[in-house]
Chains A and B, each alone.
Chain A
Amino acid sequence: MNHALTRAALAAALTLAAGGAQAADKIKVGFMLPYSGTYAALGNAIENGFKLYVAEQGGKLGGREIEYFKVDDESNPAKAAENANRLIKRDQVDVLIGTVHSGVAMALAKAAKDADTTLIVTNAGANAITGPLCGPGIFRTSFTNWQPAYAMGPVAHAKGHKTAVTITWKYAAGDEAIGGFKEGFEKAGGKVVKELSLPFPNVEFQPLLTEIAALKPDMVFTFFAGGGAVKFVQDYHAAGLDKSIPLYGSGFLTDGTLQAQGDSAQGLLTTLHYADGLNTPRDNAFRADYAKAYKAQPDVYAVQGYDAAQLMQSGLAAVQGDFGKKEDFRKAMRGATVDSPRGPFTLSAAGNPVQDIYLRRVDGLENKVVEVAVQKLADPARGCRL
């Protein structure tokens, strides 16, 4: 207790010292991102994207400087509430930016809503965040798990596939993606004959690949991300299934994983709200700037972080940097059109992007855009009471 009080004083003093200038002049932005573990690269990309935009605005948003706080959420939903409270209660941030993992984001959204802190979700696609848990202070610059998967439905059917088997991890992101694909595919006239799944983050796919071979569907749709995506694509190829049963997936199957997947991914078709080779002036400028600043190519995560900063800017511009006008700030963000490298998008009433979903094909180390799969796709926001 004495122990804790001393700790409190010490930490507070050091934070203030580290902060430097008067806290009142700077806007406090809190990043809750994975800085360790499988998703660390994604967390870094999001932060880089955000900071790139701020740098382009001369280091200020809404005319004010930014003070950054970071917490490593380790992609661990069990610690998420605690980690969120570090930023909300200890560091008292004005805006929360985060995160990658859907389970973590759900805890983050609840904590943000309970404390009425503005939250911009920069990746996690859990439908619930702009569904039952939506709120005036909750925004998203990424996607819902439903969106890119749904878009693949009509595309796959148009290619002549009538039956499909789906396979994914048994968690919210997987279930919602498969739900989206099933809705899109069956609305276009197709039929999902079986939905296979394995527990997250299990990567022993052999038995299920054998099952797919036994079922002999027209196509397979899958959702995996990160290490699981690498392994699945490799295993699918090694099992020789890609020759007879074409594989389709939501874009995360091949995003950030092509180096590891190598030959096994060539020619794969995926759908996502971003692609390589868009060749618009906005995207080209963004890519050039990002490459110059960070010596690496940006990916969809960097775009999502970049757009979060843009969204914040539009809000701050409307209230001339006065954070006290929280409602006006949020309303302005809700109504904004974000000039994103992916193409301009607006936000739905629930706070999710209404955006074009691209069909992409893997070519070398890039996911080259083929065409727009579905234009201005909005997530149905089931359960949102806004």
Chain B
Amino acid sequence: MDFGILLIQSLNAFQYGLLLFLVASGLTLIFGIMGIINLAHGSFYMIGAYMAFALGPAVDRWLGGGFLATLAVCVLAAGALGYLLEAAFFSYLYRRNHLQQVLMTYGLILVFEELRSILVGNDVHGVPLPSWLQGSVPLGGVMTYPVYRLFISAVGIAVALLLYWVIARTRLGMMLRAGASNREMTSSLGIDVNRLYRLVFAAGVALAALAGSIAAPVSSVYPGMGNGVLIICFVVVVIGGIGSVRGAFLAAMLVGVVETFGQVLFPSAAGVLVYLLMAFILLCKPEGLFKQG
């Protein structure tokens, strides 16, 4: 592989990793702060993608907005959905043990997939790109790199920085960290922990939905798209350390590199490599790359 191709493959790995990070960050926050194993997180990704497809024309007609407006609507709608879901369903999961959480959210996946089938049908759909995001940047002699993939990477980096700033440098972040380490004490200090959890959950759902709606033009919108993402994201979260956004970022990059180069260098072993990576890391550092405290 010559140097130019190596660079391009690295770019591919980086972009894929950032997309994974978008989904995984929501999962690690929910997992880390509320201690809920949520298998339905992949469904939120799917919901985001389907919203991008279904709401695009509506946003265009009634709000006069384009692609970015659709993205914003998807994120807000998903956040609202997350808020309601937490109140209606997930808040009951705190008291349950992990086994029950796994199984109840497993049932939730079935429900979401089927609702999607009833509401939107089973066809595969494409989501069109606005003209300012189409086109490609020439890289090397033969190949061009799609501008949209650079856009995805940019959004990923922006979200990463935003998350860092919120968690490390704002009062909200401080409350989150407090609520995670000691729920009773925090609430006795007058902070409404229930509302806090609801916000975090909504944010997690919004992040996953953002990833889905951003990926939709590239990956198409199709039934079952959530399941593939789910498992990989759990791997990312566990490798990175549960509750660690920094860990999720690093792990997502690692997984991106392994998957991308694995596909090209060892196509038949590619699927196995990521799991080998996870097993290896867990055996060296049983709690992931970044532990708490």
* Touching chains A and B, CB distance < 8 Å: yes
| Residue of B124, B222, B223 with highest tally of chain A CB at under 10 A | B124
Q: Which residue of A lies closest to B222 (CB)?
A: A227
Asked if A196 CB lies within 8 Å of chain B CBs, one says yes
Which residues 229-278 in A have Cβ within 8 Å of B in the complex? Answer: 230-231, 234-235, 238-241, 244-245, 257, 259-262
Query: Interface with B: A9-17, A33-41, A286-294, A318-326, which one?
Result: A33-41
B142 x A244 contact (CB < 8 A): yes
Measured between beta carbons, the chain B residues less than 8 angstroms from A245 are 142
Query: Are A226 and B124 in contact, with the CB atoms below 8 A?
Result: yes
A196 to B136, CA, bound (A): 24
Interface status of A78 (Cβ within 8 A of chain B): no
Known contacts A214-B1, A230-B220, A238-B148, A208 near B122 by CB under 8 Å: no
A226 contacts which chain B residues (CB < 8 A)?
124, 222
CA distance A196 to B264 in the complex (A): 9
Please classify how large the interface on chain A is, using the bins under 10, 10 to 19, 20 to 34, 35 or more: 35 or more
Q: Mark B122-144, 1 if CB is under 8 A from A, else 0.
A: 11111010000000101010111
> Is A281 interfacial (CB 8 A cutoff)?
no
Q: Are B224 and A238 in contact (CB under 8 A)?
A: no
Q: Do residues B12 and A206 form an inter-chain contact, with CB atoms below 8 A?
A: yes
Q: Which A residues are CB-close (under 8 A) to B138?
A: 240
A207 contacts partner chain B, Cβ-Cβ < 8 Å: yes
Cα-based distance from A261 to B124 in the complex (angstroms)? 11
B219 engages A203 (CB within 8 Å): yes
Q: Are B122 and A36 interface neighbours, CB within 8 A?
A: yes
Bound-state Cα–Cα, A262 to B24, Å: 32
A245 vs B142: C-alpha distance when bound (angstroms): 9
Measured between beta carbons, the chain A residues less than 8 angstroms from B292 are none
| Residues of A with C-beta under 8 A to B5 | 210-211, 213-214
B21 to chain A: closest CB distance in Å? 15
- Chain B residues with CB under 8 A of A339: none
B222 with A199: CB separation less than 8 A: no
Q: How far is the CB of B161 from chain A (nearest CB, A)?
A: 24
Q: How far is the CA of A101 from the CA of B121 in the complex (A)?
A: 19
Please measure, in the bound complex, the distance between the C-alpha atom of A214 and the C-alpha atom of B2, giving whole angstroms.
9
* CB nearest to B135 among chain A residues: A238
Find out whether the CB atom of B126 lies under 8 angstroms from the CB atom of A210.
no
Contact call A210/B12, Cβ cutoff below 8 A: yes
> Is B263 a contact partner of A198 (Cβ separation < 8 A)?
yes
The reply to whether A234 and B136 contact each other, CB–CB distance below 8 Å, is no
Contact between chains at A241 and B270 (CB < 8 Å):
no
B86 at the interface (CB under 8 A from A): no
Please measure, in the bound complex, the distance between the C-alpha atom of A203 and the C-alpha atom of B13, giving whole angstroms.
14
Q: Name which of B15, B125, B220, B270 has the most chain A CB atoms within 10 A of its CB.
A: B220
Interface positions, chain B 228-257, Cβ under 8 Å from A, are 228
Inter-subunit contact A38/B122 (CB<8 Å) = yes
Residue B271 CB within 8 A of the other chain: yes
A121 CA / B125 CA spacing, docked (Å): 27
Check if A204 is an interface residue, CB within 8 A of chain B.
Answer: yes
Q: Which of B2, B117, B220 contacts A203 (CB 8 A)?
A: B220
Known: A170-B267, A227-B220. A40 touches B144 (CB 8 A): no
Is the beta-carbon distance between B223 and A238 smaller than 8 angstroms? Answer: no
Q: Are A210 and B220 CB-contacts (below 8 A) given A196-B267, A239-B136? A: no
Whether A241 lies near B220 (C-beta < 8 A) is no
The answer to whether B124 and A227 touch across the interface, beta carbons within 8 angstroms, is yes
CB distance from A228 to the nearest CB of B (A): 8
Q: Judge whether A197 is part of the interface by a CB distance below 8 angstroms.
A: yes
Give CA–CA (A202, B261) in the complex, Å: 15
Whether A262 contacts B263 by the Cβ 8 Å rule is no
Give chain A interface residues in 1-47, CB to chain B under 8 Å: 36-38, 40-41
Question: Is B136 a contact partner of A240 (Cβ separation < 8 A)?
Answer: yes
- Quick one: closest A residue to B143, CB to CB? A213
Residues of A within 8 A of B140 (CB): 213
Docked-complex contact B223 and A37, CB < 8 angstroms: yes
Q: Which among A196, A216, A239, A262 is the interface contact of B144 at CB below 8 angstroms?
A: A239
A315-333 contacts to B (CB < 8 Å): none
Question: B125 contacts which chain A residues (CB < 8 A)?
Answer: 260
B1-42 interface mask toward A, CB cutoff 8 Å, 1 = contact, 0 = none? 110010011001101100000000000000000000000000
Q: Contact: B124 with A210, CB < 8 Å?
A: no
Q: A5 to B123, alpha carbons, bound, how many Å?
A: 39
Query: With A and B bound together, what is the CA distance between A216 and B5 in angstroms?
Result: 12
Residues A41 and B220 in contact in the complex (CB < 8 Å), given A211-B264, A240-B136: no
Q: Are A204 and B259 in contact (CB under 8 A)?
A: yes
Known contacts A197-B267, A210-B12, A230-B124; decide if A38 and B222 are in contact (CB<8 Å).
yes
B contact residues vs A (CB 8 Å cutoff): 1-2, 5, 8-9, 12-13, 15-16, 117, 121-126, 128, 136, 138, 140, 142-146, 148-149, 218-220, 222-224, 228, 259-261, 263-264, 267-268, 270-271
Given contacts A206-B260, A260-B126, list 5 more A-B pairs with CB under 8 A: A170-B267, A213-B142, A216-B142, A231-B220, A239-B136
Q: What are 9 A-B contacts with C-beta separation under 8 Å?
A: A37-B122, A37-B223, A206-B12, A207-B13, A207-B261, A234-B218, A239-B143, A239-B144, A262-B126
- List the 10 shortest-distance A-B pairs measured between CB atoms, nearest first: A240-B144, A260-B126, A40-B122, A213-B143, A227-B124, A227-B222, A238-B146, A206-B12, A213-B142, A214-B5
